[in-house]
Every structure is written in structure tokens, then in C-alpha cells.
Chain A
Amino acid sequence: QVQLLQSGAEVRKPGASVKVSCKASGYNFIDYYIHWVRQAPGQGLEWMGWINPNSGATEYAQKFQGRVTMTGDTSISTAYMEVRSMTSDDTATYYCHAVLESTGTPYFYVDVWGKGTTVTVSS
């Protein structure tokens, strides 16, 4: 079945970086964008950006431009999201997310999320 498998929890000190991985299975990785979304404690969902795994093209929310990099390795169907220069405000659960929708028939719509990666930034 369609799945996104994320890497495990991380703890970092302020100023450090973290790189979270998201391995896709059950579908053709290059056919659908991967989005990254985070949720800080007590806060709502926050969209960070997307990557087109086929071309490597990316778009980032303005808030994260220059501090976040999204990449993909098509050989292992895995997307990555790196956050640099982290502060305690980056403490959150980070999710990868994909929407698989057909462009023809038969129609299908599959919305899949990873289980989330908890990143804690603390001195």
C-alpha cells in the first residue's frame, strides 16, 4: 500500500541542523510532489514547502526561505528536509505529505502522510 516512512526522533542544540528523511513506497515516487508540514506544540499545522521529485524543483514558504532545503533521491524513493540554524521555535513534529491524484481514468485520490518526526531543540 502507499506509505511514507519517516526517520526517527531527533534532539539538537540551538544553532544546529537536522535532516529528516521520508521514504515513499507503493507508488511511483517521481510522479507526485512531496510537501513538508510541521506542527509545533500547541500550534496549528504549518506548511513549509514542496519538492517535485522528478525535476528537483522546490518552493518554500517565505518564512523558511534560506534556512530550509528540500531534496530527493529518486534511486531510493526518498525525500529529505533539512533545517539549519535551529532555535527552540523549531521544536515540532515534522510531516511529509503527498497527494496522489489521477489525471485520467480510472480516477483515484490518495492523500498520504508520514507518521511524523519529532524534533526537539534544547540546550
Chain B
Amino acid sequence: SYELTQPPSVSVSPGQTATITCSGDALSKQFGYWYQRKPGQAPVVVIYKDNERPSGIPDRFSGSSSGTTVTLTISGVQAEDEAEYHCQSADISGTYVTFGGGTRLTVL
């Protein structure tokens, strides 16, 4: 099965920039998506199609793609951004979806 690789954890101080990467071979052909999940809540998309931000998501969230890696950047991190972040994409055929293992963002 197709795998996406994320770091298990990232820690930053308030106001700093958090960067979370996600690597997978098919990311050179398929879009990457980023979901924020807080305890007891359903996931919320913060970036779709590599770098698009849904309405209602603060502009401190941004996404980028290069080769087989997509990156989520949170500029000026706030305490409320503490959550798990999961990348998601599809295999090369576009049929099967997969999630990365998730990255726990801790705001110090």
C-alpha cells in the first residue's frame, strides 16, 4: 500500500513558524491535502490541492509542493493551532487514498 511520511511531532513557541513536511512518491503526480484534528473533533481541511486555503482558514496557514514532498507552514503560530496535522493524498492511479501518520504540533 502507498505510504505518506510525516514527522511524528513538531514544537514551536507562539509567534514562530511551524513547518510540517509530508513525503510520498505519488506526490509528484497527486495533490496533497492537510487536515487539522483536535481531540474529540472531526478533521478540518486547512490546505487543499497543495496550496489552496479554504474560506475561513486563517492566512497564517499555507501549503507548498516540491517534487515528492508537500509542506504545511503555519506562520505566527498561536496557541489555538496546537493539534494533530494529517497529510492526505492518493496513489499514482488516483483511486486509493492514504493519510500520513500525523504530526502533533505542540505550542510551547
Point out residues on A near B: beta carbons under 8 Å.
35, 37, 39, 44-47, 50, 59, 61-63, 95, 97, 109, 111, 113-116
- Closest Cβ of chain B to A78, distance in Å, is 18
Query: Which of B10-18, B35-43, B60-68, B69-77 contacts its partner?
Result: B35-43
| Contact status B99-A46, CB under 8 Å | yes
Contacting pair B1 A63 (CB below 8 A): yes
Q: How far is the CA of A59 from the CA of B93 in the complex (A)?
A: 12
What chain B residues lie within 8 Å of A39 (beta carbons)?
37
Min distance, Cβ A110 to any Cβ of chain B, angstroms: 8
Of B43, B52, B84, most buried by chain A (CB within 10 Å of CB) is: B43
Cβ of B86 and Cβ of A45 under 8 Å apart?
yes
* Binary per-residue interface labels of chain B (21-48) against chain A in the complex, 1 for a CB within 8 Å, 0 otherwise: 0000000000000010100001111001
Q: Please, how many angstroms separate the alpha-carbon atoms of A73 and B52 in the complex?
A: 33
B interface size (C-beta, 8 A): 21
- Min Cβ gap A23→B in Å is 15
Which residues of chain B have a CB within 8 Å of any CB of chain A? 1, 35, 37, 42-45, 48, 52, 54, 84, 86, 88, 95-102
11 more contacts with CB within 8 A, not counting A39-B37, A45-B35, A62-B96, are A44-B99, A44-B100, A45-B37, A45-B88, A47-B88, A47-B97, A50-B97, A61-B96, A95-B42, A109-B52, A109-B54
Tell me the nearest residue of chain A to B95, going by C-beta: A59
> Which residue from A45, A109, A111, A113 sits with its C-beta under 8 Å from B99?
A45
| Residues A115 and B1 in contact, CB atoms below 8 Å apart | no
**Separation of A63 and B97 alpha carbons in the complex (Å):** 13
Q: How far apart are the CA atoms of A3 and B48 in the complex, in Å? A: 19
Closest beta carbon of chain B to A15's beta carbon, Å: 26
- 30 residue pairs of the A-B complex, CB under 8 angstroms, read A35-B97, A37-B43, A37-B99, A39-B37, A44-B84, A44-B100, A45-B43, A45-B88, A45-B99, A46-B99, A47-B96, A47-B97, A47-B98, A50-B97, A59-B96, A61-B1, A62-B1, A63-B1, A95-B42, A95-B43, A109-B48, A109-B52, A111-B44, A111-B45, A111-B54, A113-B42, A113-B44, A114-B42, A115-B42, A116-B42
